[in-house]
Every structure is written in C-alpha cells, then in structure tokens.
Copies of this chain bind each other. A is one copy, B any other.
C-alpha cells in the first residue's frame, strides 16, 4: 500500500460517524440501494442497516462505485430488530415518511445520535415501522408527484445531517475506538 493510500484511509476513518445511520426497509432495487450506500460513504456513515423481509442480502450494482467496501451493512429480517438494536445503542430513529404528523426534515438535530428510516419505492414505510420510530420527517414537495426517489430522499436528509455535523465540528474528532479503528484499517488494507 502506498503512503497516500494509507493516509486516505486514516482521513476517512478519522471522520467516520458511529451515531449517524440509515435503515432501509425493503429497498430492493440495486440502483437505489447502491446510491444510498454511496451517499452514506460521502457523509461519513460508519455502517447501515438493511431490513429485507424477502431476500437475505442487499444487491449492489455499479452505482455503488465500490462503496459497499467502505460502509458495512447489517441485515435484519424484521423492522423490530433493527429499530430496537438502534434504540439500545441510544439512537433516535426518524422515519422519512409522508404522514400527517411529519416534521420538516430540517427541524431535526442530527448532531444527536440519529438513524433515518427509508421505505420501499412502491409501498413506503410500513405502518409497523411508522409506529415504532421516534418521529416522522418530510422533505417539502412542491410539484405534481407525491414522493421523491428513495435514494434522493436519503441524500437530501443525509446532507442536511452532514451540514449540521460539519458546523458542530463532529468530523474533527475520532469516533472509533482504537481496536475497531485498527481492525478497519486492517480490513481496508488487505482485502
């Protein structure tokens, strides 16, 4: 490995955020899931959570640009397990969900430990998931079509989180524990 490559790994690991994540609920289309994980890499998400009731593994395509190597994906077979795992880790879970009680997505403080739940392209966030989470958030829609593409919605919210975390200096201190840091460095260096 070149020294430049090692430095790049350090720079990226130094900024990884353990307490900012995404849960996808049955987001199956490879181009959607791939674009989401690529965006997660860009905002410094350490790991994401995929709930797949139909299949066991998310499928990536070239849209991911290899980001599945840099962002771990934990799979869950049901939404309860995903939400309760994150609640136990002290995260608030907000569903990106076009409901009556949804708040404008900019009203959330994303410098706090936060997970964003995203729903399937056709059916959206399930009622079960909508009931389990700590709140609903919405991106204002001013046109004819009711919803955004799911990877677009994910990005708009995650870059608001990135903006807030940049302003709060959260990318300027290391969040990973030393042992995890070493392990990641090892995994990234020797594929």
Contact = CB atoms under 8 A, between A and B. Distances in A.
Interface string A100-117: 000000100000000000
A15 interface: yes
Interface in A115-130: none
A70 B155 contact: no
Which bucket holds chain A's interface residue count?
A: 35 or more
Interface stretch (A39-47, A50-58, A77-85, A175-183): A39-47
Contact of A38 (B71, B145, B162): B145
Contacts of A155: 148, 152, 155-156
- Residue of A40, A42, A70, A155 contacting most chain B CB atoms (<10 Å): A42
Contacts of A42: 139, 141-143, 145, 148
A66 interface: yes
A73 interface: no
A166 B186 CA distance: 47
Given A12-B143, A40-B143, A139-B159, 8 more contacts: A42-B139, A42-B145, A66-B145, A70-B143, A71-B143, A140-B162, A142-B171, A156-B159
Interface of A: 8, 12, 15, 31, 34-35, 38-44, 63, 65-67, 69-71, 106, 139-145, 147-149, 151-152, 155-156, 159, 162-163, 166, 171
